[in-house]
Structure 1
Amino acid sequence: MPRFLDTNILLRYFTGSGSEKALAAKVLLERIEQSEEKVVISVLVVFETIFTLQRTYKVPKVKIREMVGDVIALRGVQLTGKRLCLQALDLYVGKNISFADAYNVIYMQSQQFSEIYSWDTDFDRIEGITRIEPAQDM
């Protein structure tokens, strides 16, 4: 039976902070990589990990995509929407938008939505997505 993997394990693994815990996280991730362990993560774990790496640890987006993408892609990691997350990581870097916006674009595309109500002009950079600003007099 798989166990749920919390964000703090991934952050220790990626940053090496708290040496004993970082080492334990490394050992666990190696076991997952070798299919000796299976874990489940949620999309919120992915979001929190990316947000913290970017904001707190100032990790560049390209490095975040590599680090997080490699872990998500492991066969021992179960994640509903794994493909969407991996595609969102590429868009996050490729269009230099937030991961939340990237994930929402990929989700919209998967559901065949092409219009979004938003004041966020980052969506204007995405081909096939039309941003609509709500009017007060709708």
Structure 2
Amino acid sequence: MGNSLVNSYVDTDVIIRLFTGDDEQKRKDAKALFEKVEKGTLEISVPDTVIADAVFVLSSPHLYGLPRNQIRDLLAVLLRLSNFKVENKQVVIKALDFYVDKNVDFGDAMLAVLTRASKNKLIYSYDHDFDKIEGIIRKEP
């Protein structure tokens, strides 16, 4: 196999199967896939929307209803893998912390991290959840 590294994409459902085990065969297959990523024989890329979808599915009371801190901890395992490439990886990691610590929606957490990193720190929103986050100026349009 040499030093060739295959770069592929993964869908949210594979991540969900890995963490939930609601289909044991799919969990085993997903685990084997991510073991290749961990060993460095496979590189997986995902847009940050895949992480957002995973947060939504895992947290939904109609589906898995996992607590926020458990979701962050599960996803952190993948995010620590050097061959698991995520668009805006550092933003996603910080957003997962805001999602837990500030009790805001993950999408709002992503916006909060980006806003805090911006020059003017300003976000236009009707959502008062942004008022919970230091370093952001929220204005209504």
| TM surpasses 0.5 | yes
Q: Given residue 131 of structure 1, which amino acid in structure 2 is its aligned partner?
A: R
- Residue 135 of structure 2 corresponds to 128
TM-score by length of 1: 0.92
Check if 1:68 corresponds to 2:75.
yes
Distance of 2:140 and 2:22 partners within structure 1: 43
Change (3 A) 1:11 1:113: farther
Deviation, 1:80, is 2.0
- Residue 98 of structure 1 corresponds to 105
Aligned length: 134
Secondary structure of 2:104's match?
A: coil
Identity %: 34
Distance of 1:113 and 1:105 partners within structure 2: 13
Deviation, 1:110, is 2.3
What do you get for the CA RMSD once the two structures are aligned? Answer: 1.1
- The structure with the largest strand share of the pair is 2
Q: Given residue 8 of structure 1, which amino acid in structure 2 is its aligned partner?
A: D
Secondary structure of 2:66's match?
A: coil
Q: Which runs of 5+ in 1 are unaligned?
A: none
Distance of 2:110 and 2:133 partners within structure 1: 12
Deviation, 1:112, is 2.5
Deviation, 1:118, is 0.9
- Residue 86 of structure 2 corresponds to 79
Which of 78, 102, 108 in structure 1 is aligned with 2:115?
108
Distance of 1:12 and 1:128 partners within structure 2: 37
